[in-house]
Chain A
Amino acid sequence: MSSLFSDYDIWSALWTTIKLTVFSAIGSLVLGTIVAIFRLSPVGILRFFGTSYVNIFRNTPLTLIILSCSFVLYIQLGVALADSNAQDFAAVNAFRLAIVGLTVYHATYVCEAIRSGVNTIPLGQAEAARSIGLTFGQSMREVVLPQAFRGAVVPLGNTLIALTKNTTVAVTIGVAELSAVLKTVTERDPGSLNLAFLVVGVFFVILTLPMGLAVGWIGQRVAVKR
């Protein structure tokens, strides 16, 4: 076990996994909320865009999205997300492209979680908001979304846990997160493979188990009483 930790940079890989999770979670929460607002909007064209976005990206395999971030976005279209003169350009660029891919994909699930939260709100709430003269934007911000988020804590938590584990797909474009360690161990030291899989597996449980507990607790605390 000690050789596994000394020969491979597992702690730094764990840290990369955590950073991927945090940045992608924030990104998909923001993007997913915007898409959800599109899907709930009274404007037909916005609804169309929102619905199309969800249908396209939710139905595309994550691996394909992550790979296209690298192959299409960067290699074909030349979109680089890091300073190309920097020493660590390849690593930083791949890391950021992975965040883009993870964000785009998980935003669809965030959007649908928020919409399910909106469905928990009686129609009368939005009617009352409109009746006192709030505009669509104001009634979203003040009345609908705050209640929708509270009703969506549990499905949002599911998405966060799935996202945490899905960061492992980033290895396909060379991001040195936890599953990249497995790849390296497989190549160099097949004898330690069982141990490496166990360690990485345990790390993910350590990351996601508290999330599940927190989600349940928060969900109950912020629930809107009717």
Chain B
Amino acid sequence: MTQAAPAPETQASPGEPLVVLTDVNKHFGDLHVLRDINLSVAKGEVVVVLGPSGSGKSTLCRTINRLETFESGSITIDGQPLPEEGAELARLRSDVGMVFQSFNLFAHKTILQNVTLGPTKVRKMNKADAESRAMELLKRVGVEQQAQKYPAQLSGGQQQRVAIARSLAMNPKVMLFDEPTSALDPEMINEVLDVMAGLAKDGMTMIVVTHEMGFARRAADRVVFMADGQILEQKKPEDFFTNPESERAKDFLSKILTH
């Protein structure tokens, strides 16, 4: 993170819980996608969520900023429960960065406008300040040369780095990554993971859903393993990869680590 950026206003000090999920349940029709999820993420912590497809990890990520609703339980961010809808929810979302698998850059806006939209409209920052801050962030993620282009003119890896800059521009308290490298060509994965690892190193609180085991080993403070909508294990990465307890985790690791 650039040090020029003002620190997010947060009451939690390092080590205190920032995102807390308590007994969260959700169904998609008959499918119980989240079963009694309990998860606490401390300020500054990097949590990587692993699990087979359909395990509910993306849903978990999207539920944290209420892109998905949930039926029971509670989610608090920095001590505040998630509001149902409306302006309160919008305010809370502005403090929670989200990076999507499919980038979702605003297709009709330039790269620079993508990054300044939130700060000017939500934070009411003036245009010049927002732009100089945006250029700083674009430089940090290495795409400042592309500032005047449109998203479709950039490679996937560049687009995803812009998406990260767009989130960072809001000075989020926590960042959610929903399979950020799954839609990328192999040679572009590392440029995105490097930016994420840099963020982790600078103390950003991160919840990352990914299939990148290397990143989990390298950057995570904790690995959360999910299957069938449940959290089965939570461990330090080394522990998890060398000594998984549950059958599901052993099975999962045997399938992905043998290649």
Contacts and interface: CB of A to CB of B under 8 A. Distances in A.
Contacts of B108: 146-147, 150, 224
Contacts of B97: 131
A129 interface: yes
A137 B107 CA distance: 19
Interface in A135-166: 135, 138, 142-143, 146-147, 150
Contacts of A124: 100, 102-104
A contact patch SS: helix
B107 A224 contact: yes
B101 to A, nearest CB: 9
B208 to A, nearest CB: 16
B98 interface: yes
A129 B102 CA distance: 14
Contacts, number: 76
A147 B104 contact: no
B230 interface: no
Contacts of B255: none
A134 interface: yes
Contact of A128 (B86, B90, B94, B105): B105
Interface of A: 42, 122, 124-125, 127-135, 138, 142-143, 146-147, 150, 224-226
29 contacts: A122-B102, A124-B100, A124-B102, A124-B103, A125-B104, A127-B67, A127-B98, A128-B98, A128-B100, A128-B104, A128-B105, A128-B106, A128-B166, A130-B90, A132-B117, A132-B118, A132-B166, A132-B167, A133-B94, A133-B95, A135-B87, A138-B121, A147-B107, A147-B108, A150-B108, A224-B108, A225-B153, A226-B151, A226-B152
